[in-house]
């Protein structure tokens, strides 16, 4: 695996790849690599792409400076795990590589907005689209891979590619789940032992109520679930909503729908979604 943290070195390698007409698959990450990230890499490798993983904690998608500064980082472990999983190239750009002039956000897509995480984290998705577009311009991938845990992000990036007629294949990859049934997330490295116990109990409650929803779809089930979570000491809940996959509109049944959740266990934000059909 090639490891590059210098833009000039990266451009030299990229020039050779393009000259040799290599198909490039991009897996953009913010590091603290987990099984979810690795599933994207494995998908890229399986499809015979020259697989590039980027690690860049993007300042423009954080609306909380403390959250940005405390985002979990473990570069040595990330390098080992990516090597073990046969990543072709790891690119670790710095802020100047991505934002050479100044750190600036472009507000460039209006679809799937003002709901879910966009409502709770103003400006977040503008920052996400900005950095992904800059990575596209730097790396010139033939394909990009995103996980379904961040489903709203996935929909926004997919629409951005389509709206701008970018020659990039978009691969949506199923969430990889932990033993308790929740999707992997880098943020969970910040859990204390007590947090983990609450997290496991929360997962049990979510799946109990999903089973009820599957038998008899009733919005009151969601209200009951939120009430049960408050008893566990979960004080901040951003949303628990059932929405249609295609347009992310509120759903009145479980057909082609998912339960979308976002809440905090102490300072750690948990987001996930669950297929209901």
Q: How many domains does the chain have?
A: 2
Average pLDDT, the chain: 95
Average pLDDT (33-41) is 98
Q: Determine what percent of the chain is predicted with pLDDT higher than 90.
A: 92
Residues 105 and 234 in one domain: no
For 232-270, b/e burial (b = at least 16 CB within 10 A) is eebeeebbbbbbebeebeebeebeebbbbbbbebeebbb
Structure tokens at 242: 């059932």
Task: Examine residue 81 and state whether it is found in any structural domain, yes or no.
Answer: yes
Check if the beta carbon of residue 207 is closer than 8 Å to that of residue 171. Answer: no
The answer to whether residue 248 is domain-embedded is: yes
pLDDT of residue 1: 98
Residue 266 included in any domain? yes
Asked whether residue 105 carries a pLDDT value surpassing 80, the answer given is: no
pLDDT at residue 107 is higher than 70: no
What confidence score (pLDDT) does residue 64 get? 85
pLDDT at 98 over 70: yes
Domain that holds residue 207: 191-272
The verdict on residue 205 lying in a domain is yes
Together in a domain, 167 and 242: no
**CATH code assigned at 254:** 3.30.1300.10
For the beta sheet containing 143-147, the strands, ordered from the edge strand earlier in sequence to the opposite edge, are 2-4, 89-91, 50-55, 24-29, 143-147, 169-173
Q: Which residues are catalytic?
A: 37
At 14 the pLDDT is 97
Q: Show which of 123, 147, 173 is a domain's final residue.
A: 173
Instruction: Answer yes or no: do 122 and 231 share one domain.
Output: no
């Amino acid at each position: 695996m090639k490891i590059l943290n210098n833009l000039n070195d990266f451009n030299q390698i990229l020039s050779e790849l393009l000259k040799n007409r290599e198909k490039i698959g991009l897996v953009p990450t913010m590091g603290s690599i987990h099984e979810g990230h690795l599933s994207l890499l494995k998908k890229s490798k399986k499809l015979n792409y020259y697989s590039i993983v980027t690690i860049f904690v993007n300042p423009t998608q954080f609306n909380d400076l403390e959250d940005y500064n405390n985002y979990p980082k473990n570069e040595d472990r990330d390098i080992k795990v990516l090597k073990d999983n046969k990543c072709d190239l790891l690119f670790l750009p710095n802020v100047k590589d991505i934002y050479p002039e100044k750190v600036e956000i472009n507000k460039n897509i209006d679809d799937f907005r003002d709901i879910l995480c966009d409502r709770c984290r103003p400006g977040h998705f503008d920052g996400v689209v900005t950095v992904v577009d800059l990575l596209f311009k730097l790396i010139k991938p033939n394909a990009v891979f995103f996980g379904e845990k961040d489903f709203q992000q996935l929909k926004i990036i997919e629409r951005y590619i389509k709206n701008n007629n970018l020659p990039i294949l978009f691969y949506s990859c199923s969430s990889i789940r932990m033993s308790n049934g929740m999707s992997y997330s880098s943020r969970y490295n910040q859990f204390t032992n007590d947090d983990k116990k609450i997290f496991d109990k929360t997962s049990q409650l979510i799946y109990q109520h999903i089973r009820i929803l599957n038998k008899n779809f009733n919005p009151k089930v969601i209200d009951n679930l939120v009430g049960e979570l408050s008893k566990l000491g979960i004080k901040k809940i951003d949303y628990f909503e059932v929405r249609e996959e295609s347009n992310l509109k509120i759903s009145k049944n479980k057909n082609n729908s998912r339960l979308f959740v976002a809440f905090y266990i102490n300072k750690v934000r948990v987001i996930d979604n669950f297929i209901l059909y």
